[in-house]
Amino acid sequence: MRPRRSLARALTATALLPAGTACADGSPHPAPPAQAASATPTDRSTARELRVTLDGRPVGATLHDTPPARDFAKLLPLTLELEDFHDTERVAALPRRLDTSGAPEPVRAGPGDIAYYAPWGNLALFHRDGPAPSADLLVLGRLEAGPGQLGRATRITLEAAPSPAPRSPS
C-alpha cells in the first residue's frame, strides 16, 4: 500500500510544479495567459471634453477618441429626452445611426458610461452595470454624474466644449 501513496504524492507534486512556477513572483495566483493588448475606454489617449447638462444641471463628460465617438461628436449639439430601460440605463433615439466601423473591442458598460446601441441606433447612459461585452454596444465616453442623478435624468444636452486657447511661449 505504501508504494501507491508515494506514487500519488509524486504525481500530485508533479501536477503542482507548473502552478508553483507560475507563481514564482510571489503572488498567490498563477499569471494569466498572455493576450494581445486591447484598448479599453480608460486607455484612450485623447479624450474630447464635452459640455453636458442633465435636467439643467452641468456635469463633466468626455468622449473617447474612437471612430464611432468622433462620428457621434458630429451630431453635437444635441438635446435628447431620456427614458428608463430595464432600470439600468437611460436611453434616447439619435437623429441618425452612427458609423461603427473601426470600433474598438467591446467592453462592459458601467455606471457613468455613454454608449451607443447599434441595433436600435440609440444613445444609452448607464447608471448601473450593463450587460456582458457585445459588439452591438459601443462605449463612447464617460459622464461625471452619480448613479442617482443618471437614473432619474429625463433630459440631456450635449455640446462640444470649446478647445483651450493655445498658450504663448513664456
- pLDDT at site 47: 78
C-alpha span between 14 and 151 (Å, rounded):
54
Residue 86 within a domain: yes
Tens-level pLDDT at each residue, the chain (170 residues): 444 443 333 333 333 333 333 333 333 333 333 322 333 434 334 678 999 999 999 999 999 999 999 999 999 999 999 999 999 999 999 999 999 999 999 999 999 999 999 999 999 999 999 999 999 999 999 999 999 999 999 999 999 988 765 666 66
- pLDDT at site 168: 63
- pLDDT at site 15: 37
CATH code of the domain containing 72? 2.40.100.20
Residue 144 within a domain: yes
Closest CA to 122 of 81, 64, 168, 151: 81
Residue 137 within a domain: yes
Q: How many CB atoms lie within 10 A of CB 71?
A: 18
Full domain range(s) for residue 103:
45-160
In the chain, count H helices and then E strands. Answer: 3, 9
Residue 58 within a domain: yes
Residue 18 within a domain: no
C-alpha span between 155 and 157 (Å, rounded):
7
Residue 16 within a domain: no
Task: Judge residue 56's burial from the number of C-beta atoms within 10 Å of its C-beta, 0-12 exposed, 13-18 middle, 19 or more buried.
Answer: exposed
Strand pairing class (122-126; 137-144): unpaired
Residue 129 within a domain: yes
Look at the chain and report how many structural domains it folds into. 1
C-alpha cell at 73: 461628436
Residue 70 within a domain: yes
- pLDDT at site 129: 97
- pLDDT at site 161: 87
